Amino acid sequence: MTGRAERIVVAMGGGGFTMEPDNPLLDDHVLALARTARGSQRPRVCFLPTASGDSPVSIASFYEAFARRSEASHLALFERTLDDIGAFLLAQDVVYVGGGNTENMLAIWRIHGVDRALRAAWEAGVVMAGLSAGSLCWFETGTTDSFGGLAALSAGLGFIPGSHAPHYDGEANRRPVYQRLVRDGTIPAGHAADDGAALVFHGTVLVEVVASRPNARAYRVERDQAGRVSETELPTRYLG
């Protein structure tokens, strides 16, 4: 590769191997992006299961979904055995972050320096992807159920400016809570994604919305000067 590496984030509102084990369209798209961006026909994919407490079930599901079509690995932090996390993540083609408790995940990442290692890998062109907590973490803030009910995320990684709401159609209160937080200025404007929809960023620019379900959508949610919230549906490409 010449010049600056393309920085890619694939933020899935919900979906992928943990939510759609029989529908690999979003995960296939992540692998296709990695093959193009990284020039590897068998990408190296590292799963970060931190948000689920390094759940053995999540880890097993990841290997079942990815081991046959990639060089699959995972990074455990609750029983950490790896010394140089930075070098390990830089050697990947994809970092795939699972769902769970976003606030806990971010706190643990910062203790172990994973936040800094992820930024270095992203800037080097490693594709960043994930669902739910693994979608929200790339933004400055957004809506999280880390504390039980929905609330504003304290501080995401900030690779992508603005806010994010995953699972936008997944629960009845996801849409109204996100819009209220944007309306009252608790969080800035941003992007919401349904289950089955993924926001694809190159650098900090949204270049495409793709979906594994025909009716899954993503939205731009903003507050105008009069304090009203607008929700703009974004063009979405169904991968099926």
Query: Tokens at residue 195, please?
Result: 């289950």
Residue type, 50: T
74 catalytically annotated: no
Pairing of strands 139-147, 149-152: antiparallel
Residue 231's Cβ-count burial label (10 Å; 0-12, 13-18, 19+) is middle
Q: Which of 132, 135, 146, 163 is catalytic?
A: 132
- Rounded to whole angstroms, the Cα distance separating 229 from 180 reads 8
Asked if residue 78 lies in contact with residue 111, where contact means CB atoms within 8 angstroms, the answer is no
132 catalytically annotated: yes
Asked if residue 180 lies in contact with residue 188, where contact means CB atoms within 8 angstroms, the answer is no
State the Rg of the chain over Cα: 17
**Which residues, in sequence order, are bridge partners of residue 193?**
218
Q: Which of 29, 164, 167, 191 is catalytic?
A: 167
- Rounded to whole angstroms, the Cα distance separating 82 from 117 reads 13
Residues with a catalytic annotation lie at: 132, 167
